[in-house]
Amino acid sequence: MDRIVVVGGGLAGGRTVVELREQGFSGAITLVGAEEHRPYDRPPLSKAVLSGRTDDTTLPFDLDGVELLLGRHATGLRPGVLETDGGPIEFDGLVLATGAAPVRLPGSADQRVLRTIDDARALRETLRPGARLVVVGAGWIGAEVATHAAAHEVAVTVVEAGASPLLALGPVVGGHTVPWYAAAGIDLRLGAAVAQIRSDGVELAGGEFLPADAVVVGVGVRPDVSWLESSGLQLDRGVVVDEWMSAVPGADAGGAGGYRPGSVVGAGDCTAWWSRRYERRMRVEHWECAQESPRVAVATLLRTLAGGQPSSESPDDIYNPVPYFWSQQFGRMIQFAGLPGPDSTLVLRGDPTAVAPPGAKKAPGWSAGWFAPDGRLVALATVARPLDMVAGRRMLLADAAPDVAKFSDLDIALKEL
């Protein structure tokens, strides 16, 4: 009987187990997870656990019959054997799903991050009314933590090294979120470099000291793959996998490095996958990648274990998404899909500076599209306009080239273009 070992007990690891059963694997499955928790969902940590709206985000995966090794760390890998801090585990097939870990800044060990449910519960205890919080980084996590804290009477300062928040969306779109901070009573410091994080606050490069009861660092994540350094697999800020999510042996490993091609696959945040759509390697630390990529990884693994080729030209067997992400901040739902290029032109749809009309609770939403020189829509950001995103994602998948004048007209539904 074949044994498949899944390393990493997050969304991608849990989804992998579900896919293994749904795709007909009846052999033994072992799930090795460093956290003591069963797979749980991370987006609600900043959106609902911090506020106390929920305390449990466990995912409803059926793990019956799965050997669960929780609180167990994978420490190394060689062909057919996973090394862990509880001893070696042999496998016929292996799924790498160890996710990503937050980047920490030099300085005090007291700096906090928000990645795990334990981080969220501990932070919730600190963010009491009257507390002082400094958030380093006005990216997705920083903005969501600041949103929560400001709404709970915490005095919040956000320190961002760049010229605007949400730099992933570029300075124009990110810049339109600046007033949201002031409206929430947050002191936003743009272009501010951190010199040192201390246990009692943050020292800025210019010498100013920002006292704090808690410092949360939200400056991005790095795929959690350092434990694979001597595995012979190729690493490049993530486990290098091909379009079938099959791990690629390193050049110095010689041949397949002893690994049967297709017998080690990756899924979720820990992977750097080859995109046929964009003809480049992608690293997308987003929920949807962890949700969807296990289907392809498992199909590849099961094809291989059945004696077939890891590669397959069926479009269903290739992981080829348009990346998608959402965030909730300052009472707004932001969604983003696609990949802007350096030569893209930004077109706004609606007025980001518009205020709520009399009698209305909220300002109308707005969107922003990035257009390639040949007229194709290549990326879309929406603020409180979910229907734009539904239609826009279809356009992105279809490589559509909507009329720009009509795109910018809020009175014309995107689905009509």
393 lines the binding site for ligand FAD (CB under 6 A): no
138 lines the binding site for ligand FAD (CB under 6 A): no
19 lines the binding site for ligand FAD (CB under 6 A): no
In this chain, which of 82, 89, 95, 97 binds ligand FAD, going by CB under 6 A?
Answer: 97
In this chain, which of 160, 243, 285, 317 binds ligand FAD, going by CB under 6 A?
Answer: 285
**CA 107 to each of CA 112, 210, 218, 393: distance values in angstroms, whole numbers, following the listed order:** 12, 14, 15, 42
Interaction pattern, residues 35-74, with ligand FAD; x per rule: CB under 6 A: x------xx-xx--------------------------xx
CB 66 within 8 A of CB 60: no
Which residue lies nearer to ligand FAD by CB, 16 or 201? Answer: 16
224 lines the binding site for ligand FAD (CB under 6 A): yes
In this chain, which of 286, 295, 303, 385 binds ligand FAD, going by CB under 6 A?
Answer: 286
Provide the minimum distance between the beta carbon of 47 and ligand FAD in the complex, in angstroms, as a whole number. Answer: 7
Alpha-carbon dihedral 390, 396, 401, 406, rounded to 10 degrees? 20
Q: Which spans in 164-267 are helix H?
A: 170-175, 178-183
Which residue lies nearer to ligand FAD by CB, 86 or 211? Answer: 86
Instruction: Name the segment binding ligand FAD (CB under 6 A); options: 189-197, 198-206, 281-289, 363-371.
Output: 281-289
Which positions ≥6 away from 350 have C-beta within 8 Å? 364, 365, 366, 367, 385, 410
Residue 340's identity, in one-letter code, is: P
21 lines the binding site for ligand FAD (CB under 6 A): no
Which residue lies nearer to ligand FAD by CB, 75 or 309? Answer: 75
| Closest by CA position to 97, among listed 252, 199, 238 | 238
- By CB under 6 A, what part of segment 175-204 binds ligand FAD? none
In this chain, which of 4, 6, 8, 215 binds ligand FAD, going by CB under 6 A?
Answer: 8
99 lines the binding site for ligand FAD (CB under 6 A): yes
Q: Count CB neighbours of 33 within 10 A.
A: 24
123 lines the binding site for ligand FAD (CB under 6 A): no
262 lines the binding site for ligand FAD (CB under 6 A): no
- Can you read off the two tokens belonging to residue 244? 């079938």
C-alpha 289/C-alpha 358 separation (Å) is 41
Residue 276's identity, in one-letter code, is: R
**396: which strand partners?**
none
Between vectors from CA 20 to CA 92 and to CA 77, what angle results, nearest 5°? 35
Which residue lies nearer to ligand FAD by CB, 227 or 273? Answer: 227
3-state secondary structure of 74: strand
Provide the minimum distance between the beta carbon of 280 and ligand FAD in the complex, in angstroms, as a whole number. Answer: 19
3-state secondary structure of 369: strand
CB 382 within 8 A of CB 392: yes
**How many of the chain's residues bind ligand FAD (CB under 6 A)?**
36
Residues at the contact surface with ligand FAD, assessed by CB under 6 A: 7-13, 32-35, 42-43, 45-46, 73-74, 97-100, 114-115, 141, 224, 227, 268-269, 285-288, 290, 325-327
